Amino acid sequence: MSTATKQIEELANTEYKYGFATDVEQDIIPVGLDEDVVRLISSKKGEPQWLLDWRLKAFRAWLKMTEPHWQNVTYAPIDYQGVSYYAAPSEKKKLNSLDEVDPEIRATFNKLGIPIEEQKLLSNVAVDAVFDSVSVATTFRSKLAELGIIFCSFSEAVKDHPDLVKEYLGSVVPHTDNYFAALNSAVFSDGSFVYIPKGTRCPMELSTYFRINAKNTGQFERTLIIADEGAYVSYLEGCTAPMRDENQLHAAVVELIAHKDATIKYSTVQNWYPGDKNGKGGIYNFVTKRGICKGDRSKITWTQVETGSAVTWKYPSCILQGDDSVGEFYSVAVTNNFQQADTGTKMIHLGKNTRSTIVSKGISAGKGQNTYRGAVKIGKKAANARNYSQCDSLLIGDRCGAHTFPYLEIKNTTAKVEHEASTSKIGEDQMFYCESRGITKEDAINMIVSGFCKDVFRELPMEFAVEAQKLLGISLEGSVG
Amino acid sequence: MLDVKNLKVRVEDKEILRGITLSVKAGEVHAIMGPNGSGKSTFARALAGHPGYEVTEGSVTYKGQDLLEMDPDERAREGVFMAFQYPVEIPGVNNAYFLKAALNAKRKHQGLEELDAMDFMALVKEKAKILDIDEKMLLRSVNEGFSGGEKKRNEIFHMAVLEPALAVLDETDSGLDIDALRIVSQGVNAMRSPDRAFIVVTHYQRLLNYIVPDYVHVLSDGCLVRSGGRELALELEEKGYGWLEAAPRLGSGQAVVGARK
């Protein structure tokens, strides 16, 4: 390894700064999973019978399934009986205002820079904060309600808007979809719910902030977003977790439904604890995200910046059912040290004149392994479907890896599908060029990496783009070569 | 400004420079000429601090400081600039943004206030005009998709914005047509000043018709074999480098002072 490579590697190794744990009293159920646990979760949440039945159906399906291992990742076997499936801050009484949120939890979110206080009106972001399994605060709710917009925790939606939940839950990701989706369907504890009524443009960014705090717990949240005809919403998701030696499981499900002429933008900045320099600890991030462009001219955009987690396994996908509907996927995935990511998307073209764009930027440093896996399917009836895919990999140092697996399935001859891929290295030449102009090594790496990710960052809402860029710098500190 | 004493440089176990001694004062323009493989570019890169070029012996004093002790970015902030023979592409990073970062790093180092976007653009537009640089080039990614000539012009443009005290031009003329050569030379000449020095590395005397040097040095096989005034370059053009191969070498450690032009 050359000196420059060594220096770059050093730069990529920065500490995880969200690794603190919060000391709050927890209502946590014993480890293990069986039907009684599913019933217990459901009863703790005071759920209606139909939802319990749905959970049990999912649980029974899960028992018959086996954990998938086709992904390009390796990890120690998960002991599903060694995990607690429900942890909540033990506050029992119903909160009437944010002032009643446990000060410890509020302090946690403040430390993370999450604006859950109503005073932060200027930030113009409505936030739902999920602490371990439970949603602790949702801001701006009344203001949004004036427009008929529903933005609340999943549990509240079950109580207050059961018809909507019943209609859409599992409609995009069925409870039998895959192993982790089935597990989530059985034991999900909370999450966010969004409904934007017809012709309404949501005036602010909606945001959910997920935090895993308790030990030995998994986080299984569910997000359901429905944009009715002509509606628009931009939704942001952020996540962090304390540093713990053991691996923790995060198996979420996100479902998006865009009706006629509706647009949903879903942006994620995922910064779960990635494990330490030696690959100890970290989150297993096994997530199923899928959206359906149900109506004509609807549009779904997934933008993700994945810097955290020990192992990431996720493919935010679009089913383009409506004619002229549009699916987009923009992704930056960073793997450093021993992190592994197998991520990408599926674009399923069913309607006529449907279009999809895939831009994936994988960055590998240290011993990180980064895999892009994407499928483009063009159905028989999808006349004039278009897809453009671009997958670029950037290697930092010489011990990491990048892999690309594009799959195509085309059943209509009028389809046009393009795929471009590239792999490059941050070379000594680029570094030296920047340095010879007076730019420090750190700044040079950040600059080169940001340049590499530009196509994705410009899809993020402004505040997030800045945060993502910083995060990228932090994730790669100590890594360049 | 610059004192190079018995500089020996190795690249991958091969000794390329075998004892260079050279003194450059503020306000002077020195041309380094020589056949291919003589070590001209090695000299330039060693001054800029390229990590692949290992200094095994000798010293380089720049403005009273040990240049060899400094990292490449420190050298740049102290006012050393090298125009690359092969400028590097940085996809996705726009040229103006890159230059702003570079200039502000330098200004910060000098204890000056960093320029905001407005002031910076005003400065850059003025410099772009002198070098006949299309403003669109500012918004393109650094060197990406630039033609060979555009890349070289961009190097001189960077130099104009960063205003170094010591500029090293590494074969800036190679790959330039006559018009581009004229524009680049005008840019360099406009920057000549009593407190700035240039080291112009070139294979051809052609460039020296435009950038008239105070001294010409000839490198051959890692040693300076001849120093003189401008007329030395003309003589070289006439007789070729072969003529010098037979000439006695200037020993290392010997001060090389050419005749004034």
Distance CA A318, CA A316 (A): 7
Cβ distance A451 to B141 less than 8 Å, yes or no, reads yes
The confidence score (pLDDT) of residue A74 equals 80
Q: Do A439 and B81 touch (CB under 8 A)?
A: no
Supply the DSSP symbol for A325.
-
**Burial readout A376-410 (b: 16 or more C-beta within 10 A, e: otherwise):** bbbbeebbbbbbbbbbbbbbbbeebbbebebeeeb
What are the angstrom distances between the C-alpha of B44 and each of A435, B33, B39, B60, B163?
Answer: 15, 12, 9, 12, 18
**A chain contacts of residue B50, beta-carbon cutoff 8 Å:** 432
**Could you tell me if B152 and B175 are in contact, meaning their C-beta atoms sit under 8 angstroms apart?**
yes
B192/B214 Cα distance (integer angstroms): 12
| ipTM for the whole complex | 0.91
Inter-chain contacts counted by CB atoms under 8 A, chains A and B: 82
Indicate which of B73, B100, B110, B114 best probes the interface with A, i.e. most A CBs within 10 Å of its own CB.
B73
Q: How far apart are CA A304 and CA A343, in angstroms?
A: 10
Q: Which two tokens stand for residue A362?
A: 């994988």
Q: What confidence tens digit (pLDDT) does each residue in A43-61 have?
A: 988 999 999 999 999 999 9
pLDDT of residue A457: 80
Hey, what are A170's tokens? 């599992």
| pLDDT computed for residue B249 by the predictor | 52
CB A229 within 8 A of CB A322: no
Q: Is A435 on the interface with B (CB under 8 A)?
A: yes
Phi, psi values for residue A301, rounded to 5°? -120, 120
Contact A126, A84 (CB under 8 A): no
The confidence score (pLDDT) of residue A2 equals 47
Report the pLDDT value the prediction gives residue B68, as an integer from 0 to 100.
95
Distance from CA of A115 to the nearest CA of B (A): 29
Q: How confident is the model at residue A8, as a pLDDT?
A: 46
Instruction: Encode chain A (481 residues) as per-residue pLDDT tens digits.
Output: 444 445 445 544 555 656 566 655 667 777 888 999 999 999 988 999 999 999 999 999 999 999 888 888 788 888 888 888 877 655 544 455 555 666 666 666 666 555 554 434 334 456 666 655 555 556 677 778 899 999 888 988 999 999 999 999 999 999 999 999 999 999 998 888 999 999 999 988 887 776 655 555 667 889 999 999 999 999 888 765 555 556 678 889 999 999 999 999 999 887 777 777 777 777 888 899 999 999 999 999 999 888 877 888 899 999 999 999 999 999 988 888 788 888 899 999 999 999 999 999 988 888 888 889 999 999 999 999 999 999 999 888 788 888 889 999 999 999 999 998 888 878 778 999 999 999 998 889 888 888 888 888 878 776 666 667 777 766 676 665 4
Residues of B in contact with A2 (CB under 8 A): 51
What is the percent of chain B where pLDDT is above 90? 61
Q: Please, are residues B179 and B196 in contact by the beta-carbon 8 Å criterion? A: no
Tell me which H or E stretch contains A117. none
CA of B45 vs chain A CAs: smallest distance (Å): 10
> Per-residue pLDDT tens for A57-96?
999 999 999 988 888 878 888 888 888 887 765 554 445 5
What is the C-alpha to C-alpha distance for residues B68 and B48, in angstroms, rounded to an integer?
A: 9
The Cα–Cα gap between B43 and B40 comes to 5
* pLDDT given for residue B254 in this prediction: 43
Question: Which residue has better confidence, B173 or B260?
Answer: B173
> Who contacts A340 (Cβ-Cβ below 8 Å, separation ≥6)?
A72, A73, A74, A75, A310, A311, A312, A368, A369, A370, A371
Q: What is the pLDDT of residue A97?
A: 54
What average pLDDT does this structure show over B60-76?
96
In the prediction, which pLDDT does A92 show? 45
Nearest residue of chain B to residue A428 (CA atoms) = B51
